[in-house]
Structure 1
Amino acid sequence: MSFYMRILNRTEKNRRFLFLAAVFAVCTAAMLTVLMMPQKQVVCKGEADFKQFGLQSGKAVDLCGEWEFFEQKFIATELDEEQVFGKFVRVPSYMPRKNAGMFNWGSYRVKLKNCPPQFDVSVSLKGMPAAYRIYLNGKCIEKSGVVSSNPDALKVSRDTSIRTTITLQSSECDLIIETAGYLLPGLSFTPRIQEESVWSEQYDRYHTWMILLLGMHMLFLCSYLLQLKITPDSGYSRSVFLVLFLLAIRMIYSDAAFSAVIGGTLKYYDLILFSVCVMESLVWEFLLKNGYKKDRQKKDFGIREGILITGVIVMSLAAFEGILSWKLTMDVGVWLVLLIRFAGYRKKEEISGEDMIWEIGILLLYTGIVLSDFAHIGMLPYSGGIFMLVGVIAFDLSVNVIDRWRMNKIQQRALEAAKIEQKLQEARLELALHQIKPHFLQNALMSIKVLCRTRPKEAEQAVYDFAVFLRGNMNALESAEMILFREECKTIERYLHIEKMRFGERLQVQWDLQEEKFQIPPLTIQPLVENAVCHGICQKMEGGTVQIRSFRKNGEICVQILDDGAGFDTEKLKDADGIAIRNLKLRLKEFLNADLEIESRKGEGCRQTIHIPWEETEDENYSDR
């Protein structure tokens, strides 16, 4: 049997592993497809011919290719009459850093040919980390912040509310872009030309989706924080919250989301953006630590950290050297860690559903971030930046599913524990009841035995009374359910009638019942009356009186059994508490949260009092009133 169970478990593990392998392969294939996609060169030798691109049909034209570049010159602002040709550079790209230090500036120019005359278009560079100005035929049509050759005056604006409509006056136009920046200067984004109405509609839709996805993530982040604070011991992780918080910062520094949340201008925006991307390594550090067994986590610690640190170093060097794909170097490092992590699942004995959902969430998050990075270097349209936000939401959903599963398991375990506790309680109470039954039956039969020797006729009547007693109270004897107090009193009356035949005038009974309509466990008062008769009255030669009282006092219902018999030392009772009394106290506590108090002095009798809280009985035990 165990052999077949191992086979079934192995089959389930293989299915989950193959599913994870399929998701990993699909995500990797999607990224490689974009990476290997050929880039169409619109600009060649500083010229772009619009005749073949269908600008009037609403299509967007990305001006990638070879632009004229003028290093450390603003040819439109400075009205450079010489127009000396510098060199051709590829767009998108960063400016060369030869003898330029951290700060650089320059101009890019392209000649637009066969433009549809009198046609309204928008020229967009939204999201570029450097400050820029766009000129068409010598007229400034759009700018981002303050563009200056003075580094102290430079400011990068992230205001996306600019809606500049330009009209192509002639079939040939000169497009000049002046740009300056610190760490990431140059045309790192491909300028896009599109019919103005189509561009506005698409950008508004894109901007709306960006804000919507960011808002969804922020709501999930706040909800997770509340759960972490309200139920700190329920399994919510501080590390996961930190990851969600860092992802929120990364999302805010993502194009339109940043401008919508912060806006304004920044002097060192490109440096801040680079720092946020470096901070992203912390996200992967926290994410990739989860899901391992302890021994495997220690074994792979150096490998994971080594790859991530190397990725950060290579990314930094690439950014400082002006390599356009600087961000992708970190992505490659994370992919290697994911591959090592994924291979580790092959050796695991079991892949749980939580492991599978967690890994899928991480893969979708990684894919979204990489596709967003592709959009930032011109391999995808600018709107491809939304992939990162979609990946973050997919990760949020995976975290939410895992939390729901975990909470359901916690609730299920709590429910099972409650059921087990209930069964244990029922077993304890049943055992206690069965221990009380022989105690009662023994005392009753001993009383009848004495009558058989001394008064046979009365013994005959006692046997009949005892048979009626057993028949009428069999349900109480066989059940642990609650019964009315007055039903218990009827049982006690029959018992006392039998005992009175035995003791005659030596046993006197007094009843004072002010409260009767409440419930108690069966055979609760009976053992106390037995104690009063057997250990109090019968131990005294002249006998005595047993009083049974019930009344309400100080928010409690009190049931008292008093006798003026021989009495006893209560200290000895504490040292050697009888099994009947222990079981009785247990049942009173379990059913009614009630207490049993026993007071006695040797030679002065005994007072046994049950204190039942009124609040415990008000709704349940008085429903028959």
Structure 2
Amino acid sequence: MEKKFFWRLKKWEVIAFVMFYFFFASLYYVTLWINWGSSDKSDSSFFSLIRFIDNCGLQYLIFFLFTVPIWYLVFQQFRGRKLYFRLLIHLVTWPIFVFGTQQVYYSISETLGFGHLEGASAVWDVYIPALFYLIQFGMLHAYEYYKENQRKLILEGELRQAALKSELAAIKAQLNPHFLYNVFNTINASVPAENEKTRNMIAQLSDLFRYQLRASKTDVVTLEEELDFVKKYLNLEKERFKDRLQVDIKVSKDLMKEKIPPMLLQPLVENSVKHGLASLIEGGTISIYIFKEEGKLKFEISDTGIGIQNKQNVFGKGVGLTNTKLRLQKMYQSHLELLDNSPKGLTVKFAI
């Protein structure tokens, strides 16, 4: 992935923007040169740096300096707002740009002894900035739309690929689930009665398979059902880790009937166990905190494991985090946020 230069811009985008200004300044210079009288042409070569700065370079530099804060306001500060709201901002910034650049250009030109249009001809120093503003910001909005469309196409492609992998995994997993249940029951029945702990573990494992099969056939489950599945998974992990694994779940009872996609939490919890705590001799704690705020259900899954240094590169490597990220983007336009836990470990946050 190409690194950002600054303000979410790539280096080639900054260069292209500068070249855009140089092109229009040069085009304006050529237009002026063609319209100069014969005496002016004989006194000066086609390109004179002083004349270039005098006639157009200074003016387009001022255009650029006025454009940067307007661009930052529209495309950075309010980048998440509706398009109509950002277009309304232009109704304010357009006249500021047009008349502001004219007055600054005239003031600097008079201070430096450069010439500028006067009288009726000064209307061109209103018309040209106004037209240039429309051209440049029209192109910037069009480019933003193009980038957003490309991002959606890439996301849709990733989702199709993830869906295909999930379908293939589901096909592989459908090894006659009823056969699996019968095998589990047979094994359970063969375990001596005094080994009640082993019988419970087999029963919990059977419940996990049953829930996974149900998850492949339904779009939503209650939060209570999802948490029950996660608890059974963690109970089996605790048999392996013993006292090295501690679990802390904080969820209000009035949220238990909330509807969420199935298998949303377990991949994140499994990631915390597998990649966060498994390698630590002392183990650690898995914390699940779910609450409702501003009409949204918010999730925080934390561990006290080894954490992740490069949090952006983790996506695409692990199936659990990547698929959950794609599901949240597609279903809720929500983002999976990875943060450092305190004093150590990783915290995963998202809202639906």
Please report the TM-score for the alignment, with normalisation by the length of structure 2. 0.43
Q: Which structure has the bigger radius of gyration?
A: 1
Please report the TM-score for the alignment, with normalisation by the length of structure 1. 0.25
